[in-house]
Structure 1
Amino acid sequence: MFRGQPEWTRRARLILRSGIIKSLHVLNAACALHFLSTFGMFQFMYGPSMLPTLATHGEIAFEDRFTVRHDPSKIQRGDLLTVRSPLDPRRILCKRVIGLPGDVVCVDPTGHRAPSTEHVLIPRGHLWLAGDNAANSKDSRMFGPVPIGLVEGRLVARVWPLSRFTVFRNPTQVLGYDP
């Protein structure tokens, strides 16, 4: 490096430079993690409740976290959401939006039209969520309307496996409703 400098100053300079580079790597990783947790995140999908839309294991989806957290009014019927479980907040669930605040949902916990059928008015600040595989899903039929504050994000696309890459579009049309 510089001739005439003692060995210890060269070593100190190398150690300092190495420390600065490592610090920049850590800062870069922290910024990337903050960006992902704020704007979007990759989620590993598993479990049978969203069959046939999502496989029981081995799929990775990208979720938009920013839109639904900063403007919950963008949530629509038919959206695929990730939410904290109302029964166990350590678990993240993937469910489809069936009802929005103010909607009345016809609920039959058995999955068949039966005397147990009831109508539920979804309160302000809540959603009615259901798995696509109703016979094998713990959803709003079990725990009722879900507070919007438990929503983590909206699934945008399945990114793995590549052979099943899919951009999720909202398939729901409300009959007799013209926004």
Structure 2
Amino acid sequence: MRAAAGTALLLVASMAGLLPVQPMRVDSTSMTPTIASGDLLLVRHGQGPVQRGDVVAVAHPLEEGMLVKRAVGVGGDEVAIEDGVLVVDGTAVCEPGIDPAHLDGVWFGPVAVPEGSLFLLGDARDGSVDSRSFGPVPISSMVGTVTARLWPAPGPLPSPSAGC
């Protein structure tokens, strides 16, 4: 009984912003296969520093709510998609979890990412509303960095470069 009360208290405190982390449920498939719709994530509050490849939660720039996306470009980077392959600063990025065959013939950019901004993409590139639609987002709109999945398969998120 005490453990349940303690867990409930921690959950309420985190949702009220009193703790440096908060749980967040995903209701989109734009980050599959890394994150599925219905997954419960742990988000560490804060606005940086963000590394390329980090999964972040940001305020949606076009509507109410939040987005969970992968930061593929940071301030000063030039981001493009060339025949389905992510290219940052002229170099193809190894992303073994992303199948460029789903994006054959897709070209985007290049886009210069302003200082203090992030370029965000969903891992499901063919079904994601992301920075290709709304442009780079200011780091100030960032809620935090996704550090782990809490449910259904608890643990850290896989590294985007695992297998490179």
Structure 1-normalised TM-score? 0.66
Q: Map residues 28-43 of structure 1 onto 2, 5 A cutoff.
A: 32=13, 33-36=16-19, 39-43=20-24
Q: Map residues 29-68 of structure 1 onto 2, 5 A cutoff.
A: 32=13, 33-36=16-19, 39-57=20-38, 59-65=39-45, 68=46
Where does structure 2 lack aligned partners over 5 or more consecutive residues? 1-8, 85-102
User: Which residue, out of 51, 54, 57, partners 1:82?
Assistant: 57
Task: Between 116-125 and 138-147, report the one with greater CA deviation.
Answer: 116-125
What code does the residue aligned with 1:153 have?
Answer: G
Aligned-pair CA distance for 1:109: 10
> Quick one: distance in 2 between partners of 1:170 and 1:76?
12
> Quick one: distance in 1 between partners of 2:18 and 2:109?
43
What code does the residue aligned with 1:40 have?
Answer: V
What code does the residue aligned with 2:35 have?
Answer: L
Q: Which has the higher helix share?
A: 1
Aligned-pair CA distance for 1:40: 0.9
Aligned-pair CA distance for 1:131: 0.2
What code does the residue aligned with 2:41 have?
Answer: A
Aligned-pair CA distance for 1:170: 4.2
Aligned-pair CA distance for 1:169: 5.5
Q: Which residue of structure 1 lines up, in the alignment, with residue 92 of structure 2?
A: none
Q: Which has the higher strand share?
A: 2
> Quick one: distance in 2 between partners of 1:96 and 1:42?
18
What code does the residue aligned with 1:106 have?
Answer: A
Aligned residues: 134
Within the alignment, does 1:96 sit opposite 2:70 as a pair? yes
> Quick one: distance in 1 between partners of 2:158 and 2:44?
13
Contact 1:77–1:172 (Cα < 8 Å) also in 2: no
Contact 2:148–2:155 (Cα < 8 Å) also in 1: yes
Task: Between 100-109 and 140-149, report the one with greater CA deviation.
Answer: 100-109
Structure showing greater radius of gyration is 1
Structure 2-normalised TM-score? 0.72
What code does the residue aligned with 1:80 have?
Answer: V
Q: Deviations over 1:113-169 (max 9, x none)?
A: 45x5431111111110000000110001111111111111111110112xx112136
Runs of 4+ in 1 over 6 A off after TM superposition: none
